[in-house]
Amino acid sequence: MLELRKTPLYEAHVEAGGRTVDFGGWALPVQYTSILEEHRAVRERAGLFDVSHMGEIHLTGPDAMAFIQHLVTNDCSKMRVHQIVYSPMCYPDGGVVDDILIYRVCENDYWLVVNASNTDKDYDWITRNASGYDVTVRNISPQVAQIAIQGPAAQTILQRNTACDLGSVKFFWCLPEATIAGRECLVSRTGYTGEDGFEIYCKPEDARHIWDTLLESGKGDGLIPAGLGARDSLRFEAALPLYGHEISQDISPLQGNLGFFVKLGKSDFIGREALAAQKQQGLPSRVAGLELTGRGVPREGYPVMAAGQEIGRITSGMFSPTFSKGLAMALISTEHTQVGAELAIDIRGKAVPATVVKTPFYKKAYRKE
Amino acid sequence: MSAVKYTRDHEWVKVEGNIATVGITDFAVQELGDLVYVELPVIGDEVRAGERLAAVESVKAASDVFAPVSGEVVEANEALDDDAGLLNESPMDEGWIARVEMSDPKELDALMDRTEYDEFVKEASH
């Protein structure tokens, strides 16, 4: 068996009683005490996540912006320094290489934050497509740890530990030269939970100090460590796509409901032609939200039925902790995706009724000012 | 005889007369985490030892519960319909899943007692 990779916070997870699992080759805690408890803490107070497994790829050089525009589907041309843009990155056929965050850390310096399990693949893809651009590409993942503090109390807790004015950091903006708990880091108002919150990028050797300091400092506010289980249930309720589920090499961003992040009208980019054709011809299938009206829990891979015929499969599904009912995202024939459509989910051979509902299931007003 | 017997799939069975009360063990519940839904068997169903009797679902995943003995389902714990969390709180008692009228009580002989089960769990978690 391959030795699992450990983040700089591995010992902290073990000491806190976290139950670690193999997550894409990384030993990470799925939960500390209870997924439901950790989920609720983030919705109501705050949770602290170790997301050090995420990959970071550094792009620098005079052509960095032009290169990024070529690589990704969203339009980054209006990005200001310290701004962050979310975008799918596609293959020529419109399939997704990965979905990434692009940080403009200074004029010609960008960080691409990528899914952990895609880091090597992304780095290869990016370097293979870099010819002709005056840009240097480096995989800096081993030099960067990442901690996310998420939830309504996140700002209050974090502000106690930094002299930076977090109130001035807008949603999807960052401070690349912040100091938190006395350690240098990059902090951004971003997250993957549907709540307000921050992500902190620091040196691996500083991660433990920042982690312990924040946990101690936020105790009175109800801050607790939260594992991968809660991270998944939180992102799911907010209908944030997960690579390999709602988008993949075989599921285009248009099918995955990420059309807003595909700017066909910008300069040419990889996948543009295929995506334009998909849009013009109409999508055979796309991702829709489903609410189970019968009893049970919809799970990934379960067939979705209309009039006894399979019309697609669930991409992510669970018992929603916030709504206490079975919810799912499913890739189904486009003709059945209108809100209110009555479908069924095949749960262990039984057709359980479900209705198409709007996504996100959970929406909180983000701080955008 | 009301000794509790255990399976390698982490079910327990408690016998009174010809009726076997079935549930999942404290160890299983701890491994599964927060339970959010239980698919109970239908009363009157005939089950065979080793076949699926019920399903328990945590936030993360669904797991089958297998019948430790063969027979007819005569009762299901409807309290779990309202609150699957009962399984987390009291897996060995109030969180029982179903009662089966045994057709072949000799099947019990193949099951483990608590000492054997504890030993089995210890070995399995190595």
Are residues A185 and A105 in contact, defined by beta-carbon separation less than 8 angstroms? no
CA atoms B101, B103, B104, B107: torsion sign: negative
Give the strand order in the sheet containing A19-23: A5-6, A26-31, A19-23
Is A233 in Cβ contact with B59 (below 8 Å)? yes
Q: Please, what is the angle between helix A228-237 and helix A35-44, to 10°? A: 50
Classified as helix, coil or strand, A112 is strand
CB neighbour class for B113 (10 Å; exposed up to 12, middle 13-18, buried from 19): exposed
Report in angstroms the alpha-carbon separations of A57 from A7, A60, A120.
17, 10, 10
Q: Which two tokens stand for residue B83?
A: 């609150």
Amino acid at B44: G
Q: pLDDT tens digits for A71-99? A: 999 999 999 999 999 999 999 999 999 99
Q: What's residue B2's pLDDT?
A: 61
Q: pLDDT tens digits for A51-64? A: 999 999 999 999 99
Q: Which percentage of chain B shows pLDDT scores above 70? A: 98
Of A23-32, A50-59, A350-359, B1-10, where does mean pLDDT reach its minimum? B1-10
Q: pLDDT tens digits for A179-234? A: 999 999 999 999 999 999 999 999 999 999 999 999 999 999 999 999 999 999 99
For residue A158, what are the contacts with CB-CB under 8 A and spacing of at least 6?
A149, A166, A180, A187, A198, A214
Q: What's residue B1's pLDDT?
A: 47
Please determine, for residue A260, whether its predicted confidence score (pLDDT) is greater than 60: yes
Q: pLDDT tens digits for A291-331? A: 999 999 999 999 999 999 999 999 999 999 999 999 999 99
Q: Which two tokens stand for residue A135?
A: 């840009």
Is B33 in Cβ contact with A318 (below 8 Å)? no
Please determine, for residue B39, whether its predicted confidence score (pLDDT) is greater than 80: yes
CA atoms A332, A334, A340, A341: torsion sign: negative
Give the strand order in the sheet containing B52-58: B35-39, B52-58, B62-66
Q: Which percentage of chain B shows pLDDT scores above 90? A: 90
Residue among B48, B56, B4 nearest B30 (CA): B56
Q: pLDDT tens digits for B19-33? A: 999 999 999 999 999
**B123: in domain:** no
Rounded Cα distance between A73 and A67, Å, is 12
Q: Which residues of A touch B39 (CB under 8 A)?
A: 295-296, 348
Q: Which residue of A has its CA nearest to B57?
A: A297
Is A299 in Cβ contact with B62 (below 8 Å)? yes
Q: Which two tokens stand for residue A6?
A: 């450990």
Out of B34, B55, B62, the one facing A35 most closely (by C-beta) is B34
**B122: in domain:** no
The residue range of the domain holding B89 is: 4-117
**B124: in domain:** no
For residue B30, what are the contacts with CB-CB under 8 A and spacing of at least 6?
none
Q: pLDDT tens digits for A104-158? A: 999 999 999 999 999 999 999 999 999 999 999 999 999 999 999 999 999 999 9
For testing contact with chain B, the best of A31, A297, A318 (most B CBs within 10 A): A297
Residue among A213, A31, A40, A63 nearest A136 (CA): A63
Rounded Cα distance between B35 and B33, Å, is 6
Confirm or reject contact between A188 and chain B (CB < 8 A).
no
Q: What is the CATH number of the domain that holds B22?
A: 2.40.50.100
For residue A321, what are the contacts with CB-CB under 8 A and spacing of at least 6?
A35, A36, A39, A40, A233, A237, B59
Q: What's residue A3's pLDDT?
A: 86
**Kindly report the CA angle at A216 between A211 and A219, in degrees rounded to 5?**
120
- Provide the pairing of β-strand A285-292 with A350-357: antiparallel
CA atoms A288, A292, A297, A303: torsion sign: negative
**B58: in domain:** yes
Is B33 in Cβ contact with A319 (below 8 Å)? no
Rounded Cα distance between A153 and A223, Å, is 8
Is A319 in Cβ contact with B59 (below 8 Å)? yes
Rounded Cα distance between A17 and A32, Å, is 6
Rounded Cα distance between A170 and A38, Å, is 26
Are residues B19 and B33 in contact, defined by beta-carbon separation less than 8 angstroms? no
Rounded Cα distance between A154 and A130, Å, is 38
Residue among A252, A188, A168, A171 nearest A56 (CA): A188
**Kindly report the CA angle at B82 between B79 and B83, in degrees rounded to 5?**
85
Q: What's residue A369's pLDDT?
A: 44
What's the whole-number mean pLDDT along residues A149-174? 98
Domains of chain A, earliest start first: 5-51+144-237 (3.30.1360.120), 55-139 (3.30.70.1400), 284-357 (2.40.30.110)
Of A14-28, A55-69, A148-162, where does mean pLDDT reach its minimum? A14-28
Q: What is the ipTM of this complex?
A: 0.86
The number of domains in chain B is 1
Is B57 in Cβ contact with A319 (below 8 Å)? yes
Confirm or reject contact between A215 and chain B (CB < 8 A).
no
Q: Is residue B125 very low, low, confident or very high in pLDDT (cuts 50, 70, 90)? A: confident
Residue among A271, A280, A275 nearest A89 (CA): A271
Higher pLDDT, B1 or A18: A18
What's the whole-number mean pLDDT along residues A361-367? 76
Beta pairing partners, A72: A89
Please determine, for residue A367, whether its predicted confidence score (pLDDT) is greater than 70: no
What's the whole-number mean pLDDT along residues A262-286? 97
What counts of helices (H) and strands (E) characterise chain A? 8, 20
